[in-house]
């Protein structure tokens, strides 16, 4: 069953028609194991929002040829998953033509956070700097890592 | 993103309760810069930049 309705899809197609550059999105998830273990309720798979994250990103990306999605399954490529997302899954890792640094969303961008996903794609694909030049100049002077963590709740 | 030194992560707190507990998330949104003092509520660009630069200065970056 699709997560996006027809109206949502239409809105996204129109919004993303304004994208001026490609946006790379890597979805890092952990697939549920197909191995059925005796006594296990769910076949021994990880219980997280991996399946829903994959689905929503795929559905959103299908509304624009500018949004390029890559999938990484931690069960298949643990090293790459670790490099991209560290210890937390599921993760959506964003990249754009002019983007530096690392930008990630961990969990399912549902409810109000769906607008975060959309806005991020719009910003990265705008082809424009997201901060004024004087701010960019200050940030370019950084010589040590800076880790920004923002905690939110969907809905 | 204007610097390759910056990693910016958003966590859905209910899906990562161990992190919410680790950082004592009592309300959202909550922003941390290099695991420093939490900034509660929406953080505008100017305030975030200030926090980033202050953190960089204190770490000698």
> For B1-54, what is each residue's pLDDT tens digit?
668 889 999 999 999 999 999 999 999 999 999 999 999 999 888 888 888 888
Question: Can you give the pLDDT at residue A69?
Answer: 97
Alpha-carbon span A144 to A135, nearest angstrom: 17
Residue B40 Cα, gap to closest chain A Cα (Å): 10
Give the lowest-confidence range in A18-22, A78-82, A92-96.
A92-96
Residue among B30, B35, B34 at smallest CA distance from B10: B30
Percent of chain A exceeding pLDDT 70 equals 87
Give the lowest-confidence range in A28-37, A100-109, A118-127.
A28-37
Residue among A38, A48, A27 at smallest CA distance from A117: A27
Phi, psi of A95 (to 5 degrees): -155, 150
pLDDT band at A31 (very low <50, low <70, confident <90, very high): confident
B7 vs A151: CB contact, 8 Å cut-off? no
Question: Can you give the pLDDT at residue A39?
Answer: 65
Q: Say if A47 is an interface residue toward chain B (CB within 8 Å).
A: no
What structural domains and CATH numbers belong to chain A? 18-34+43-140 (3.40.30.10)
Other beta carbons within 10 Å of B21 = 10
Residue B24 Cα, gap to closest chain A Cα (Å): 11
Residues in chain B: 61
């Amino acid at each position: 069953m699709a997560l996006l309705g027809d109206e949502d899809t239409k809105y996204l197609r129109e919004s993303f028609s304004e994208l001026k550059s490609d946006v790379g999105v890597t979805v890092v998830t952990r697939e549920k194991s197909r191995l059925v273990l005796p006594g296990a309720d769910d076949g021994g798979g990880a219980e997280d929002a991996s399946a829903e994250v994959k689905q929503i990103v795929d559905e959103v990306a299908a509304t624009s040829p500018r949004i390029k999605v890559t999938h990484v399954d931690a069960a298949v490529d643990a090293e790459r998953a670790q490099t991209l997302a560290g210890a937390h899954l599921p993760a959506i890792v964003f990249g754009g033509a002019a983007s530096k640094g690392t930008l990630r969303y961990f969990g399912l961008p549902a409810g109000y956070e769906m607008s975060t996903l959309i806005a991020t794609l719009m910003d990265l694909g705008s082809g424009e700097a997201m901060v004024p030049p004087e701010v960019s100049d200050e940030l370019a002077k950084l010589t040590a890592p800076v880790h920004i963590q923002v905690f939110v709740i969907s809905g | 993103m204007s610097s390759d030194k910056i990693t910016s992560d958003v966590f859905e707190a209910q899906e990562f309760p161990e992190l919410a507990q680790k950082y004592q998330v009592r309300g959202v949104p909550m922003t941390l810069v290099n695991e420093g003092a939490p900034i509660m509520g929406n953080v505008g660009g100017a305030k975030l930049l200030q926090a980033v630069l202050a953190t960089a200065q204190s770490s000698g970056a």
